[in-house]
Structure 1
Amino acid sequence: MRFNCFRKKVFFLPLLVITGKGIAQKTALNVSNSSDYYKAIELYNNKAYAPAQKLFIATSEETPSNTTLKGNADYYDAMCAIKLGQEDANEKVLSFVANHPYHNKKENAFLKVGNYYFANRKASHALRWYQKVNEKLLNQQEKDELNYKMGYCLLVSNYLKDSKERFKRLLGNPVYGNDARYYYGYIAYKQENFGEAEDNLSQLADDATYQSKANYYILDISFKAGRFDKSVQIGEKLLESSKDKNERSQISKIIGESYFNLKEYEKAIPYLKKYKGKGGRWTNTDYYYLGYAYYKQKDYESAINNFNKIIGGTNKVAQNAYYHLGECYLELDKKVEALNAFKNASEMDFDSQITESSWLNYAKLSYDQGNPYKSVPEVLKEYLDKYPLSPETASIKELLITSYLHQQDYVGALEYLNANKTPENEKLANEVSLYRGIQLFNEQKVAESGPYFFNATKAENPKTVNKANYWMAETSYLTGDYKNALTYFSLVSENEGTEFDQLDYNIAYTFFKLKKYSEAAKYFKSFLNKNVDDTDLNDDASNRLGDSYYASKDYTKAIEAYNKVIEEGGTGADYAQYQTGMSYGFLGKSDDKIKNLQKIGNQFENSQLKDDALYQAANTFTSKGDGKSAQATYDRLLKKHPKSSYIPNVLLRQGLLYYNSNNNNKALEKYKTVVSKFPNSPEARQAVTNVKNVYIDLGKVDEYADWVKNVKFVNVSNAELDDATFQSAENKFLDNNTERAIAGFSDYLQRFPNGLNTLKANFYLAQSLSKVGKNDVAAPHYKYVTEQPKNEYTEESLAKLAQFYLDNDNWKSGIATLHILEKEANYPQNIVFAQSNLMKGYYESEEYANAIKYAEKVLENPKVDKKVSEDANIIIARSSFKTNDYEMAREFFHEVGQNATGKLKAECLYYNAFFLNDEKAYEDSNQAVQNLIANYSNYKYWGVKSYVIMAKNYYALKDAYQATYILENIVKNFKQFPDVIEEAQNELNTIKNKEAKTNESVTKQN
């Protein structure tokens, strides 16, 4: 391919003024001598134009009209005005001609004025006066001078045709010949009449004045005519003699491009490099020549360094450059960079072969490396649509299917397979359904995953069917369909490796949920016998094995199972200890029960079961008749766990102990405390009855009557109706007749707003409303429960109310409720729920320090669920980044990224790329971006955002083409991410403003 360079450089045309021999002017005066006139002539000849002009004016005024002397005086007056640059000079000349039309100096006046302007480099002014001259009245010498000067003025004024005609008359003239031939040849060059230009300029090859300039134009003419050998020959000679830097630069360019067109690339390179550009700036074409020369020498690094300076080109040169740039990148195994270059070349149609070849490379590289702009399947389908007859069609179709799977775009894969039905595609669709189901399951869209797993059970591949059965069972279990879960678990074969190691564990749990405890025990035991390498799972299985025996009332075996966890100090050892104590109680071994329960307080510092153990131990002391020990244990519970839900029951039981020991005053004190601190609780109602009994025993019924008047929830006359109304609603609740339960509880609360059962009615109503999805109506009732003194429903109501606020993004109320739950919860899962959502709430509220604080609390809990732990790590990572603590952010993003999948993995890879860029590890940063694009391109936001980092990396690595191309594509294609667009546009403006300093093809940005 040959690219001719059309230059517009014009050397400054020297203004050559050639005056012939002076012609003496003699003026014959037909008047008597005038002393003023001759004195004026003397002053004029001595260039004293101002005093001379005064005398000429005086002479004209004193001399009669139509006399030669007056005409002479007016002539010289006008000439003085011209010499002095007076504003009315032109008018004076024209006035002289008008007043003296037959004066012998008329033509001479036009010529002299023209010559004056010519000498002062005012070509347009000179031309105006030359055109007034009647050439027929001039002698030959004057005609030659006029032709030369008019020719030059016409040339400077860009009237090339007329100028050329004037110079043509002088070719061969002894005075003006060489000057005229130079300008004649130059005009022919400007008119691109290169043959005529060369014929004339070559005749000046030995002329000292014009030799250098003529040879330059001959050099350029030879180049444009394609005589590259001659261009090299002339150019190298010119370089030896040329001293002008700009001229040497331009000559080097022509020699270099001549060698280029001769395909002598090695010789072309040094000359192309010597070119300095226009004003120090190269064009895209200049970079192409040098880049291609290096490319042909297989110096790919140097070729890239020039090709990648071609920014924003939209012509054949640019398309070729981008294509060869792509090839250079491939040679150096830089596939991501090659993808961008081929994509750019494929978007141009200047050369159809290059377009198609670029498209093929772009499609294959998209499959191999991932594509940041479109999904890989989109690219492959677009290629197939564009080139349906390509010999590559079959292989691209194969890549298309696998690309869906590689990109984890299972939805797209299924759509394509279902739209292109063949027996093979139908089989494959069943396989792909399994992966789509797992994808949805991992996204916690359990119900949506079920149909995909069901389709996968129809696959022909036994392994696929086995996995599908397993996941169908998991899905059924999590949606509460335990019978269906058991059916599918029974179809799963364990001979598939570690994936199904916990199959027995899952089956055991399913039987446990179905309350088939003997079967559950069997499978828990089977699982434990396999010694799966998961301590927490084994500990849980041992506890559930114990629970299965416990529920079957086989307490001896239950104790044996629990003891395994206790002896190994495993997860849930405090629970096992508690259950062991309870089991001994059911075996009638009260002392062993108490002994085991007391170990919880002594050996498990952080156990949430301490108050449970104290409560059960105290009750056991009571049943043994050891009132003193019972009271001491109850007191310990009251002191150590003042917020325990057992408090009202403990007070009630203490009152009963005092009552049974005839300590009525103490009994009344305890009962009344229950009523005052826990009104509307079941214990409060019982306490009222007990107070009544004590007063009856004391014979002080009047005192009881006075006291009970102040108990708001007791209305003796309505008590029976209150109970009956509540009991009716509660029966519907227990029968799962939710709609009628809602109506019943609502009726009760309307009739008895301060009734005996108000607390329970509000809680049950809230539960019923929540069950039918009316969470907004349920929330006030949960709130009512939480505002009462702590009771057995407080904890669950706080959790439900907090969840309601979270679901509605009401973080302010949610955070306040979660704080209360954190302080008052007894169940570990509710504490974790509170703390994990507090960290999320503070993050959403942009209180990053508090978000980190609660995330760290979550991580301090060794029993926290893996998913919650991952959430805590990502909250710390994101919050640290927001507060510019990059060191901590990087540590936690790295930690999260170890096990992250899907969108979260894409986010971690983005931040990895960000931190590497921040450390100036640009190539490593690009590798992180490449990993993200290749494997997680479905998560567009992080992919596009990471591409901004890649652009920054490339610019830091001096690859301006990659940087600008990436940023321009982001701005053009991803309007749905305005924050990323803004960042990309700002970066693009910065780069283009810098590149415009050295590349003439790049326009500065505002």
Structure 2
Amino acid sequence: QAVESFNEYLDKDHSAARRDALYMLGLSYYQTKVYSKAAETLGKVTTTNDALTQNAYLHMGLSYLQLAEKNKARMAFEQAAASNANMQIKEQAAYNYALCLHETSFSAFGESVTAFEKFLNEFPTSPYAEKVSSYLVEVYMNTRSYDAALKSIDRIAKPSAQILEAKQKILFQLGTQSFANANFEQALKYLNQSIAIGQYNRQTKADAYYWCGESYYRLNRMTEAARDFNAYLQLTTQPNNETYALANYNLGYIAFHRKDYSQASHYFQKYIRLEKGENTTALADAYNRVGDCYLHVRNFEEAKHYYSQAEQMNTPSGDYSFYQLALVSGLQKDYSGKITLLNRLVGKYPASPYAVNAIYEKGRSYVLMDNNNQAITSFKELMNKYPESPVSRKAAAEIGLLYYQKDDYNQAIEAYKQVIEKYPGSEEARMAMRDLKSIYVDLNRIDEFAALANAMPGHIRFDANEQDSLTYTAAEKIYMRGRLEEAKTSFNKYLQTFPEGAFSLNAHYHLCLIGSEQKNYDMILLHSGKLLEYPNNPFAEEALILRAEVQFNQQQTADALTSYKMLKEKATNVERRQLAETGVLRCAFLLRDDIETIHAATDLLAEAKLSPELRNEALYYRAKAYTKQKADKKAVDDLRELAKDTRNAYGAEAKYLVAQSLYDAKEYNAAEKELLNYMEQSTPHAYWLARSFVLLSDVYAAMGKDLDARQYLLSLQQNYQGNDDIATMIESRLSKLKVKN
């Protein structure tokens, strides 16, 4: 009857309806179990901070519980518990709020821990106190708000065994969270604290040892890494999972770096037996490493077997397997088979970093088969295709030598001249000068040789005068003894005395290294610049690494981009190519060159062995560039990939941006689903989670659900502690919602 009467009243005078009428109508709906109407009506009452609003929020929460909408119930109870108008209602609301947090596992900003702790502090004699205490232990075990939980536990004077087990787990989670953000020293701090607590949970302790091993490995502290991986293997109760397999894989690499090939082979083969096929890249890599181990002990047939297994897996590292198979054939003196494999390698993997060496090795095979004409053809092919590669320097010298051995002196002279002109300061250039001298002596053309020697770049001579040689050698010996300041003076003195001396490039290179040791960046730029005046010299690659790093750190970004691009062209191994690609990507992104950023990120993501940290960085930069280029679908694809792990900063922002893209496309239901999933998943990067609360309020406002929009904003206002622009966003939206009401 009350429902009918109040509705009749509201129909007559809706514009100036009394709050108490709405309140009593809402409670009447609640008493008659029409819970959806109760929540909707009571929501219209919550416009002022008073006892009426507090009780309305309590019954809204109770109504939502009956409707199984625990998220909405949680926020209603939260608002009722925030008011001191009626302490009995506050107590009941605070208890229900804590319970909802626990049952929904919701703790975006540490609420689950603080709500229970706050309840026990505010209502120590409550009939709910005992239940809340027992729930608090469960919260510690299941929370994702690790910092809040750890602070809470540390306030307990005499923690129980259950709480210490929870602390062990929380420290472990903080450690893995730091690892995900590439903060390995911080990860070790938390993980070692977790281990030190004891063995309340054996598997948690074992897992902490594993991630300590991973952290030490990333920090290149191999002895500690091996110790902790072994501790994990001894302690774990789960020998059939991926982590157990990876511990063996990592121990294999540690032994491999120590050149203990027998031990390395043992661990890699164990990994192969344990791997269930989920990680084909690592599995192919393990096959390759076992092949390497057998190759080092000259067991060629076993090496070929494992390389073949790796290549058949069709992973990006297949080119390495092919190349090694070819080398093994050469070691077995099957030069024809080696050439066949090298040709297949270049055909199947044209962009492979091994393609350069493959052509060189093909030439060497022809030399060993006494087919000098084919060898020269191969070496010339290499020089034409990869003129910047240091391998071309060796090929050029080989061409001169082959002509010399054939007594084709004119061709040999031209070939050797090319070596000296293109690769000044190199050992090949010195050898070329020696052979040229012999040729001209044989031809009785000594004057011509003398004129040629003086005309070569940098006046490089075969016979450096004694003072030149002794002055440089003395400086080098001082450098080798670690007396850097004295060595710097000596190298500079050498360059002043012999500015175009036979060892001038060596001197500039050592001055680069001293500059690096002393953090003298101007010195690095000066001497690396001198080295790069002869871009094909043997020190160019090292000089570019030092030069690019200095330019990048000094914000000479355009110059750094040029240096990293040159380094990519010259890189002689996968690691240096990856270093160059990473530099190109970062420079392009800072220069806001979207097209260059997209190309650089795509190149980097194609690398066979890429750390998760670099992969995330490349995906993030590419997504940003795609967005600016209006390639929204491609951007969202990259963001969704990043959003799979919200523990790191890139993933945290990406998850928000995916939801923002859905909101912008007016796909409000999909945006709501994405944001609620984010809140359930959580992240240590609170700012992006707070932005997600704000965005969810925008979604609800767009859907006409103003009450829900306001509830999320109020909840955020009460729980978010950041000192940034979030507070302004909340205020502006709350004022708009008030105007609309």
TM-score by length of 1: 0.65
Q: Could you tell me how far 1:543 is from its partner in structure 2?
A: 1.3
How many Å apart are 1:575 and its aligned residue? 2.0
Q: Which residue of 1 aligns with 2:302?
A: 557
Q: Per the alignment, do residues 354 and 772 of structure 1 end up closer, same or farther by CA in structure 2, a change over 3 Å counting?
A: farther
Matched, 1:462 2:202: yes
Distance 1:834 1:746, change over 3 A: same
CA distance in 1 between partners of 2:401 and 2:185 (Å): 51
Quote how far apart the aligned CAs of 1:380 are: 3.2
| Equivalent runs, 1:697-846 vs 2, <5 Å | 697-711=442-456, 712-714=458-460, 719-727=465-473, 739-740=482-483, 743-744=486-487, 747-752=490-495, 753-767=499-513, 770=516, 778=524, 781-807=527-553, 810-846=556-592
Match of 1:363 in 2: 98
User: CA separation in 2, counterparts of 1:951 and 1:569?
Assistant: 48
Between Structure 1 and Structure 2, whose CA radius of gyration is higher? Answer: 1
CA distance in structure 2 between the partners assigned to 1:403 and 1:848 by the alignment: 45
1:614 aligned onto 2:367? no
Shift of 1:512: 0.8
Match of 2:57 among 315, 322, 325: 322
Question: How many Å apart are 1:797 and its aligned residue?
Answer: 4.0
User: Could you tell me which residue of structure 2 aligns to residue 682 of structure 1?
Assistant: 427
The 1:474/1:276 distance shift into structure 2, 3 A limit, reads same
* Structure 2 counterpart of 1:449, from 187, 201, 206: 187
When residues 728 and 613 of structure 1 are mapped into structure 2, their CA distance, relative to the original with a 3 A threshold, is farther
Q: Where does residue 22 of structure 2 map in the other structure?
A: 287
Equivalent AA in structure 1 for residue 558 of structure 2 = K
Secondary structure (helix, strand or coil) at the match of 2:643 reads helix
Question: Match for 2:409 among 664, 667, 677?
Answer: 664
Higher alpha-carbon deviation: 532-541 or 929-938: 929-938
Relative distance call for 1:465 and 1:862 in structure 2 (3 A) is: closer
Q: Which amino acid aligns with 2:226?
A: L
Shift in Å, 1:864: 5.5
Q: Contact between 1:308 and 1:962, CA under 8 Å: does it hold in 2?
A: no
Q: Distance in 1 between matches of 2:248 and 2:107?
A: 43
Paired AA for residue 631 in structure 1: I
Question: What is the match of residue 144 of structure 2?
Answer: 408
Q: Is the 8 A contact 1:649 1:683 kept in 2?
A: yes
What corresponds to 1:517 in structure 2?
A: 261
Residues 483, 659 of structure 1: CA spacing in aligned structure 2 closer, same or farther, 3 A cutoff? same
Aligned-partner Cα distance in 2 for 1:929–1:799: 43
Q: Kindly tell me: are residues 388 and 897 of structure 1, through their superposed partners in 2, closer, same or farther at Cα, counting changes over 3 Å?
A: same
Q: Which runs of 5+ in 1 are unaligned?
A: 1-263, 996-1006
Q: Which residue among 109, 114, 120 is the counterpart of 1:378?
A: 114
Give 1:456 deviation, angstroms.
Answer: 4.1
Counterparts of 1:584 and 1:768, CA distance in 2: 43
Aligned counterpart for 2:128 among listed residues 386, 389, 392: 392
The structure-2 alpha-carbon separation of the partners of 1:791 and 1:974, relative to structure 1 and needing over 3 Å to count, comes to farther
Q: From 219, 229, 232, give the equivalent of 1:479.
A: 219
Query: Match for residue 35 of structure 2?
Result: 300
Counterpart of 2:643 (choices 897, 901, 905) is 897
Separation (CA, whole Å) in 1 of partners of 2:441 and 2:394: 23
Shift in Å, 1:796: 4.6
Structure 2 counterparts to residues 228-267 of structure 1, below 5 A? 265-267=2-4
Name the CA distance, whole Å, in 1 between partners of 2:137 and 2:513.
Answer: 49
Seen in structure 2, the aligned counterparts of structure 1 residues 963 and 559 have a Cα distance that, compared at 3 Å, is: closer
Q: Which residue number corresponds to residue 117 of structure 1?
A: none
Structure 2 counterpart of 1:500, which letter? Y
Shift of 1:612: 0.8
Distance in 2 of aligned mates of 1:766 and 1:397: 64
| Structure 1 residue 808, shift from structure 2 partner | 5.4
Query: CA separation of 1:888/1:778 partners in 2, compared to 1, >3 Å: closer, same or farther?
Result: same
Instruction: After TM superposition, give the deviation of residue 313 of structure 1 in Å.
Output: 0.4
Q: CA deviation at 1:666?
A: 2.5
- How big is the shift at 1:353? 1.1
SS of structure 1 residue aligned to 2:390: coil
CA distance 1:570–1:343, change in 2 (3 Å)? closer
Tell me which residue corresponds to 2:178. 440
1:501 counterpart SS class: helix
Q: Match for residue 623 of structure 2? A: 877
- 2:494 partner letter: R
The alignment of Structure 1 onto Structure 2 pairs a total of residues equal to 727
Deviations 1:681-710 (A, max 9, x none): 333333333333333333333333333334
Shift of 1:945: 0.7
Query: Is contact 2:81-2:93 (8 Å) kept?
Result: yes
Q: Name the structure 2 match of 1:855.
A: 601
CA distance 1:664–1:889, shift in 2 (3 Å): closer
- Could you tell me which residue of structure 2 aligns to residue 268 of structure 1? 5
Are 2:689 and 1:943 equivalent residues in the alignment?
A: yes
Cα RMSD of the aligned pairs, angstroms, is 3.6
Alignment deviations for residues 157-185 of structure 1 (CA, whole Å, 9 cap, x no partner): xxxxxxxxxxxxxxxxxxxxxxxxxxxxx
Could you tell me which residue of structure 1 aligns to residue 44 of structure 2?
A: 309
> Contact conserved, 2:564 with 2:583, CA < 8 A, in 1?
yes
Deviation at 1:937, TM superposition (A): 5.1
Q: Secondary structure at the match of 2:652?
A: helix
- Structure 2 residue matching 1:502: 3-state secondary structure: helix
CA contact (8 A) 1:320 1:354 kept: yes
- How far did residue 948 of structure 1 move? 1.3
Are 1:501 and 2:261 matched, yes or no? no
**Aligned match of 2:229:** 489
The 3 A distance-change label for structure 1 pair 848 and 656 is closer
The aligned residue for residue 627 of structure 1 is 372
The answer to whether the 8 A contact 1:450-1:475 is kept is: yes
Instruction: Deviation per CA, 1:517-549: give whole Å up to 9, x if none.
Output: 122223323333446313322221121112112
Worse overlay, 311-320 or 705-714: 705-714
Deviations 1:48-75 (A, max 9, x none): xxxxxxxxxxxxxxxxxxxxxxxxxxxx
Match of 1:81 in 2: none
Partner Cα separation in structure 1 for residue 716 and residue 160 of structure 2: 40
Shift of 1:962: 3.7
SS for the counterpart of 1:512 is helix
- Give, in whole Å, the separation in 2 of the partners of 1:287 and 1:846: 56
CA contact (8 A) 1:742 1:765 kept: no
Partner of 1:911: 657
- In structure 2, do the counterparts of structure 1 residues 979 and 816 end up closer, same or farther at CA, with 3 Å as the change threshold? farther
Asked if 1:333 is matched to 2:62, the reply is: no
